[in-house]
Amino acid sequence: MAELENPHVMPKVITFLSSLLQRVSESNDSNRRFEPQRISVFHGLTRPTISIQSYLERIFKYANCSPSCYVVAYIYLDRFTQRQPSLPINSFNVHRLIITSVMVAAKFMDDIYYNNAYYAKVGGINIVEMNFLEVDFLFGLSFHLNVTPTTFHTYCCYLQREMLLESPPPINPAIALQSLKLQCCFSEEESSTQKQQLTV
C-alpha cells in the first residue's frame, strides 16, 4: 500500500502492467494473420518506437494521476477488448489505448486531473486525435466506467499473480512472505469492511 501513497516512487503496477500489455500485444501481432482485425482510430500507421514500459513511465511521470488509475485503466482496457473483440490490443494500437484509458481513468477516479490537451502532449499525439480517441473509447466501453471495490481487488490480484510469475523467487523466506502481500490492493481490514458495505 505504501507505494500507492508515494507519488515519487515508480509503482510496481507500471512495470507489471507494461509487461502484461507487451505480451498481449506481441501475441495478438502473431495472431493477426490468422484472425481478422478491424482498423480503428487507435491504430497507428507504424509501430511507435517507444516501448510500452517507457511510455507508461512517461505517463506516470507527467500525468500525476494516482497509481490506482493504472489498475482502473487496465480494467477499462479489458472491458474494451471484451466489448470490441475485433479490436484486440496489438503493437499498432496499444500506445493510444494506454494514453486514452489512463486519461479516462484519471478523469473518473481522481479529484484533480489534466485536460485532454495535456494528455495529448504527454502521449505524443495532437488534441483533435486525443478527443476522438476519448469519445471512441467511451462508446467502446458503452460508458461503463464504474469499478467496484471487488472488481478493483480482483484485477489487483491478477496483476499480483503476473508479478509473481515475472519476478525471480526471493532467497530470504521473510522477503518471500513480504512479496506475497498485495501491493496495489486493499488491506485485509479494508477488504472485509468493503465486503460488509457491499452486502448491506
Residue length of the chain:
200
pLDDT at 98: 92
Count Cα atoms within 13 angstroms, Cβ side, for 142.
5
Confidence of residue 194 (pLDDT cuts 50, 70, 90): very low
- 86-113 pLDDT per residue, tens: 788 888 888 999 999 999 999 998 878 8
Cβ proximity of 67 and 4 under 8 Å: yes
Average pLDDT value over all residues in the chain: 75
For residues 59 and 113, what is the distance between their CA atoms, to the nearest angstrom? 13
Q: pLDDT, tens digit, for every residue of 131-153?
A: 998 999 999 898 988 889 999 88
**Confidence (pTM):** 0.74
Q: Which percentage of the chain shows pLDDT scores above 70?
A: 73
Q: How confident is the model at residue 9 (pLDDT cuts 50, 70, 90)?
A: low
Residues contacting 74, CB < 8 A, separation 6+: 17, 20, 101, 155, 159
Question: Locate cell 521473510: which residue?
Answer: 174
Q: What's the rounded Cα separation, in Å, for the pair 78 and 89?
A: 10
- More confident position, 103 or 163: 103
Q: The C-alpha cell of 83 is what? A: 466489448
The CA distance from 17 to 9, in Å, is 16
Whether 191 contacts 110, CB under 8 Å: no
